[in-house]
Structure 1
Amino acid sequence: MTQPDDIGAKAFDWDLVKRIFTYLKPYKGLVGFTMLAAVLMAALQPYFGVLQRNAIDCYLAPTHSANCANVGSTTEALYQGVVQIGLLYLGLKVFEFLFKYGFTYALNWIGQHVLYDIRSDIFSKLQRLHLGYFDKNPVGRLITRVTSDVDAINQFITNGLSALVTSTLLIIAYVVIMLALSWKLALVSFVVLPILYWASAYFRGKMRISSRDVRIKQAIVNTQLNENITGMLTVQLFNREGRNQAKFDLANRAFLGGMLENVKWFSLYMPTVSLLSNVAMALVIWYGGREILEGQGITLGLLIAFTAWITQLFQPIQDLADVFTNMQMAMASAERIFGVLDTDEEIKDPAQPKTVESFKGDVHFQNVWFAYDSSTPADAPEKDDRWILRGIDLHIKPGESVALVGATGAGKTSIISLVSRFYDIQKGSVKVDGIDVREYSQHSLRKHIGVVLQDVFLFAGTIESNLRLGNEAIPMERIINACKYVGVHEFIMSLPDGYQSEVRERGATLSTGQKQLLAFARALIQNPDILLVLDEATASVDTETELLIQDSLAKLMQGRTSIIIAHRLSTIEHCDRIIVMRKGKIVEQGSHRELLVKGGYYAKLHQLQYSGHAMSAD
């Protein structure tokens, strides 16, 4: 499968640049100020060379040039003229300082706000994308989008864009004044420009390729780093430290190689421009010196001014090297950022979504065919391996408790995911209270569905913040009552700060049973009409905690439509109905006793489990 990082980056894509510029619209007043400041600074820079020429030709080494016609010849007059030029020079430098300060501050202020806006847009987009998108995209790659790629856009605006504007204006200003004062010296100075243009085009191509390669390899490093940190328990449990280090070292070395390749071309470009600048300087000194000695109208002051202008002309050209590097990075990053922002939101609300205050809890699957691969056509053959559910017909009445059992891969979790509309089906319908879930707004649908996971996710924060999940409207009394009801209140109060006790990332300081009880309390606080319990809620806990969890689960299910996935059959014997699944189909259903009497697949699973054997995958 082609990864987003493999998309070919263009040297310059005007459509991408226009999209970046849309983020500048809210700050167009400041953008206008920076443009004005850039124009004034560009117009001012060459004038310092004019002042140097006047100081030399009119006062330090007086000549009879036209610009010195009204200059006195006395020592005092010459001294006063030098002082006046010096004061004017200093005053203009102060003026330049103020504009540079305002320009730099305003541009970086804009860049930081654009950085904030793009980062917010990406985060908001990720919140809306369907779960299938995250199944296909590693976390490290997505983190790169929000961090490194967004920062590349910021660098382009604050450094690249400012250098592009100021350097271009400076080049124009120097070229104009050099041609105006001596077109001959100017043409001599410009002899190397075609060579510089060719060299710039060559190095830009090399830097574009290496910059894109660096971003791809950086995303790989971020992905491996994220996997290693989040999977540290497994890494240490299976003594994978050495092998993971070797694997990361390969990716890290590839990243290093890409960075060094980028540095190589950048390092070659800078001295190339500097060498060409020195060649131009030598040609001007040679030609201008000869003209002075032969009395051809070129003055010493003009020659010295030209040598300064050549250095100042080639400096913005050198600065454009940074612009090209930033531009390549920005184009590659913008491609990937807008690729995320343009990702189709496969799970969308209808034009006029239905909202509800509460559900009765009637759940109905009608001839449901489902594959996680959203490209699977509805008319794909039944034997296609992509099908997870094959023609499911299931009706769950309000208040009924239903358990789903079967081997791994039978489609149990998929059924629960479809009730909450985390995925859309390819064929059939999933209805809640007689209305297809695709007709509800996602917020309204999920607001009334409580989900309890086996792997309970807790956010960094307090116990209370994890229970209320940001809903400040929930009164504390309701939280405490829910915790007492499921039997977790005493544990919380035994902590040093009670409900304000800090929870580390993913609840690392809590046991599996404690996190599970908190999950039950969290679900009860939201007061859902439909309860979904994914996988085995009592897995990996001691007997005492298991009994407490089972008691809490029974309380939580009271008066609610409940769908439970279970591997431990003893935990679901009390359910109203047990649905037995096999290879995406319902093969049996009935109460625990009815299925045992029937002596079918469920009875076989029950016998195997209680005889100490694992469930058969068949």
Structure 2
Amino acid sequence: MARNRYFEDEKIDSFNPHNIRRILRYLKPFKKQVLIALLLMAMAAFADLMGPYLTKIAIDRYIGEGNLQGLLWISILYIVLLAVNGICIRFRVLIMSKTGHKVIKRIRKDLFQHIQKLSFSYFDSRPAGKIIVRVMNNVNSLQHLLENGLIDIITDLSRFLVILILMFNLHFKLTIYAIAVMPILTLLVFLMKKRIRIGWRDVQKKNSNLNAYIHESLTGMKITQSFVREDKNSNIFKDLLASNRKVWMHTVMLTHSIWPIVLIINTISVILMYLAGISYLDKGLVSIGALVALLQYIWRLWQPIINISNFYNQILVANSAAERIFDVLDTEPDIIDIPNAIELPPIEGRVEFKDVTFGYEEEVDILKNLNFKVEIGETIAFVGATGAGKSTIINLLTRFYDIDQGSVLIDGIDIKDVTLESLRKQIGVMMQDTFIFSGSIADNIKYGNLDASEEEVKEAAKIVYAHEFIKKMEDGYNTQVNERGSRLSAGQRQLISFARTLLSDPAILILDEATSSIDTKTEILVQKATDAVLEGRTAFVIAHRLSTIRNADRIMVIDNGEIVEVGSHDELIEQKGFYYELYKAQYSRVI
């Protein structure tokens, strides 16, 4: 299954010039820098293009007449122009390099900020590795276009026109000979452009697949080694590399084939000019200086053409990257604030689900006409088989997903009518899958409350009995933990996550399998702390270990998306229904 998934290519639209225009809009705040760079390039081009003309003057006026003084002065002028050319190019590169990096930074920032706003459904269907590629590799692919491409194409087009004017001015007929083969080049480039564009798009796809597989493999390394999948995964990776290399080599071959074509056609044009020029010299129709200048200009004429063809390749690469960048930026979050959404007032804690129906996929309902009310300060526990819909209820309460029908009310206010930020700031969620960020332990605990003091951090850790193991670590609360908290045990990660949730001081607290990775001894301590923390707060607890929810005010048994039983632990045991069977089965396994 993994093999098929990572060999699938994303569906991206064909070439769209609008994407390039959108990228170039990022240069608007840097108009001044771009104009200065253009001015510098114009000065450099002028200094460069004067060279052949000075050569003509030197040959026709000074060398032929043996005027050493005139030759000396024109040589000095030539050297000055070369210096001007070099200095202008150097400062242009510095200015556009800085500008290009700033633009790349802004694009990457916009992309990252937008990704954080996207709904869970977006991440459900996309491997993290492919998203990373869009933030890093695809944005990097735009760098050369932004730093050099735009300035170069304007300069090269201008140089091309100026050179043509100078050549026609020197000798009209010889210039016609020189450019006679240009339609051939135009035709060849036109025939190749579609294949090159498709090739670079395929390269982007293969790179995305490769990075996605690498990311998943690193994340699941423990599982890979546990099931001895190293050889199998290596073969999959080898096939992905082969596929990537095949597409890359094919595209690079196509891209770089333009240069030999231009070189061959350029050589043909020079040969034609030589043949015609020798004939014209014999007839006295052209001077030696003019012919030498024309030959120098013909080489300079083809350089802009080569640069323009290379720029076209840059455009194709940038378009492939821009397609993926704007595919993300144009993806609208499923969960957004409605127009004129209000700020949710401080929550008291009254919750109501009214006729709620929801499914992650169309025509597949997970919850069906769900109805229940929760009073202020009440602790509600959800139990049921895996997939019954327990976590879905929590996801809807926090608006990680929007319901299909019905309404969810907090203190009588429909949560769709309030801003997401004001809603989620007042609800503390501790997920079953605890996540620890790289950084210090204190940073992880303060993640939901950056203004918390050191004492508040320690107090939260003490309540959940994390303080004892933290202070024994080499740097205490300043101890650096690795990505995903790999230095910590599963129970320690759970306790830190618990402290993080408590420190945010939520009005409504959600514990989704919050004690699933804690040993029995620690669970007893955490349960005491939980009872104290839950006091005065509305709380929702999901637990497979029924012993952890005995003290809940009400237990709701969920089966097939519906509430089939409601009551306290003792009441449900007396009913000897669904909950009783779950409890008996779990208790018998413990025995």
Taking structure 1 as reference, are residues 325 and 467 closer, same or farther at Cα in structure 2, changes over 3 Å only?
same
Q: How does 1:236-385 map to 2 (within 5 A)?
A: 236-296=225-285, 298-356=286-344, 358-373=346-361, 376=362, 384=363
Aligned to 1:507: 485
Residues 210-240 of structure 1, C-alpha deviations (whole Å, 9 max, x = no match): 1000001110001101100111111111111
Secondary structure of 1:280's aligned partner: helix
Per the TM alignment, residue 359 of structure 1 is displaced from its structure 2 partner at its CA by: 1.1
Taking structure 1 as reference, are residues 180 and 116 closer, same or farther at Cα in structure 2, changes over 3 Å only?
same
Secondary structure of 1:527's aligned partner: coil
Q: Give aligned pairs, total.
A: 586
Aligned to 2:197: 208
Residue type matched to 2:442 in 1? E
Per the TM alignment, residue 159 of structure 1 is displaced from its structure 2 partner at its CA by: 3.0
Query: Equivalent of 2:179, from 181, 185, 190?
Result: 190
Query: Equivalent of 2:206, from 217, 242, 246?
Result: 217
Aligned to 1:469: 447
Return 5+ residue gaps in structure 1 as ranges.
63-72, 377-383
What CA distance in whole angstroms lies between the structure 2 residues aligned with 1:398 and 1:212? 56
Per the TM alignment, residue 494 of structure 1 is displaced from its structure 2 partner at its CA by: 0.9
Deviates further, 222-231 or 88-97: 88-97
Aligned to 1:26: 29
Secondary structure of 2:261's aligned partner: helix
Secondary structure of 1:612's aligned partner: helix
Q: Report the aligned-residue RMSD.
A: 1.8
Aligned to 1:6: 11
Aligned to 2:215: 226
Query: Equivalent of 2:536, from 538, 559, 566?
Result: 559
Tell whether the 8 Å contact from 2:156 to 2:307 is kept in structure 1 after alignment: yes
Aligned to 1:447: 425
Q: How does 1:480-519 map to 2 (within 5 A)?
A: 480-519=458-497
Aligned to 1:524: 502
Residues 552-599 of structure 1, C-alpha deviations (whole Å, 9 max, x = no match): 332332221110111111111111111111111111111111111112
Aligned to 1:379: none
What CA distance in whole angstroms lies between the structure 1 residues aligned with 2:343 and 2:32? 42
Per the TM alignment, residue 4 of structure 1 is displaced from its structure 2 partner at its CA by: 8.8
What CA distance in whole angstroms lies between the structure 1 residues aligned with 2:240 and 2:84? 50
Aligned to 1:41: 44
Tell whether the 8 Å contact from 2:449 to 2:504 is kept in structure 1 after alignment: no
What CA distance in whole angstroms lies between the structure 2 residues aligned with 1:507 and 1:278? 63
Q: How does 1:567-578 map to 2 (within 5 A)?
A: 567-578=544-555
What CA distance in whole angstroms lies between the structure 2 residues aligned with 1:397 and 1:311? 84
Tell whether the 8 Å contact from 1:6 to 1:216 is kept in structure 2 after alignment: no
What CA distance in whole angstroms lies between the structure 2 residues aligned with 1:512 and 1:321? 57
Per the TM alignment, residue 119 of structure 1 is displaced from its structure 2 partner at its CA by: 0.3
Tell whether the 8 Å contact from 2:44 to 2:86 is kept in structure 1 after alignment: no
What CA distance in whole angstroms lies between the structure 2 residues aligned with 1:107 and 1:170? 19
Corresponding position: 1:389 with 2:367:
yes
Residue type matched to 2:247 in 1? G
Residue type matched to 1:604 in 2? E
Residues 103-154 of structure 1, C-alpha deviations (whole Å, 9 max, x = no match): 2111111111110010000011011111111111211111111111111222
What CA distance in whole angstroms lies between the structure 1 residues aligned with 2:153 and 2:141? 15
Per the TM alignment, residue 538 of structure 1 is displaced from its structure 2 partner at its CA by: 2.7
Tell whether the 8 Å contact from 1:9 to 1:212 is kept in structure 2 after alignment: no
Corresponding position: 1:546 with 2:535:
no
Instruction: Tell me the percent identity.
Output: 36
Residue type matched to 1:40 in 2? M
Secondary structure of 1:392's aligned partner: strand
Query: Equivalent of 1:127, from 116, 138, 152?
Result: 116
Aligned to 2:86: 97
Tell whether the 8 Å contact from 2:380 to 2:554 is kept in structure 1 after alignment: yes
Per the TM alignment, residue 471 of structure 1 is displaced from its structure 2 partner at its CA by: 4.0
Secondary structure of 2:402's aligned partner: coil
What CA distance in whole angstroms lies between the structure 2 residues aligned with 1:167 and 1:193? 16
Deviates further, 412-421 or 601-610: 601-610
Aligned to 1:405: 383
Residue type matched to 2:47 in 1? L
What CA distance in whole angstroms lies between the structure 2 residues aligned with 1:356 and 1:196? 66
What CA distance in whole angstroms lies between the structure 2 residues aligned with 1:499 and 1:481? 12
Residues 299-353 of structure 1, C-alpha deviations (whole Å, 9 max, x = no match): 1111111221111111221122321111011112112211211111221113333
Query: Equivalent of 1:457, from 424, 431, 435?
Result: 435
What CA distance in whole angstroms lies between the structure 2 residues aligned with 1:572 and 1:219? 45
Residue type matched to 1:447 in 2? K
What CA distance in whole angstroms lies between the structure 2 residues aligned with 1:454 and 1:233? 19
What CA distance in whole angstroms lies between the structure 2 residues aligned with 1:335 and 1:222? 18
Residue type matched to 1:480 in 2? K
Aligned to 2:579: 602
What CA distance in whole angstroms lies between the structure 1 residues aligned with 2:392 and 2:319? 39
What CA distance in whole angstroms lies between the structure 1 residues aligned with 2:9 and 2:327? 8
Tell whether the 8 Å contact from 1:486 to 1:555 is kept in structure 2 after alignment: no
Residues 351-382 of structure 1, C-alpha deviations (whole Å, 9 max, x = no match): 33322452111111000011223xx3xxxxxx
What CA distance in whole angstroms lies between the structure 2 residues aligned with 1:235 and 1:313? 58
Corresponding position: 1:57 with 2:60:
yes
Return 5+ residue gaps in structure 2 as ranges.
none
Tell whether the 8 Å contact from 1:452 to 1:533 is kept in structure 2 after alignment: yes
Corresponding position: 1:436 with 2:414:
yes
Tell whether the 8 Å contact from 1:353 to 1:440 is kept in structure 2 after alignment: yes
What CA distance in whole angstroms lies between the structure 1 residues aligned with 2:44 and 2:173? 26
Residues 18-67 of structure 1, C-alpha deviations (whole Å, 9 max, x = no match): 2112211111111111222233333333211101111111122x2xxxxx
What CA distance in whole angstroms lies between the structure 1 residues aligned with 2:455 and 2:310? 60
Residues 282-302 of structure 1, C-alpha deviations (whole Å, 9 max, x = no match): 110000011101222x11111
Residue type matched to 2:12 in 1? I
Tell whether the 8 Å contact from 2:8 to 2:209 is kept in structure 1 after alignment: no
Residues 440-479 of structure 1, C-alpha deviations (whole Å, 9 max, x = no match): 2111111111111222111110111111117442122211
What CA distance in whole angstroms lies between the structure 1 residues aligned with 2:188 and 2:436? 56
Q: How does 1:63-212 map to 2 (within 5 A)?
A: 73=65, 75=66, 78-212=67-201
Taking structure 1 as reference, are residues 4 and 128 closer, same or farther at Cα in structure 2, changes over 3 Å only?
farther
Per the TM alignment, residue 17 of structure 1 is displaced from its structure 2 partner at its CA by: 2.5
Tell whether the 8 Å contact from 1:520 to 1:553 is kept in structure 2 after alignment: no
Secondary structure of 1:369's aligned partner: strand
Aligned to 1:69: none
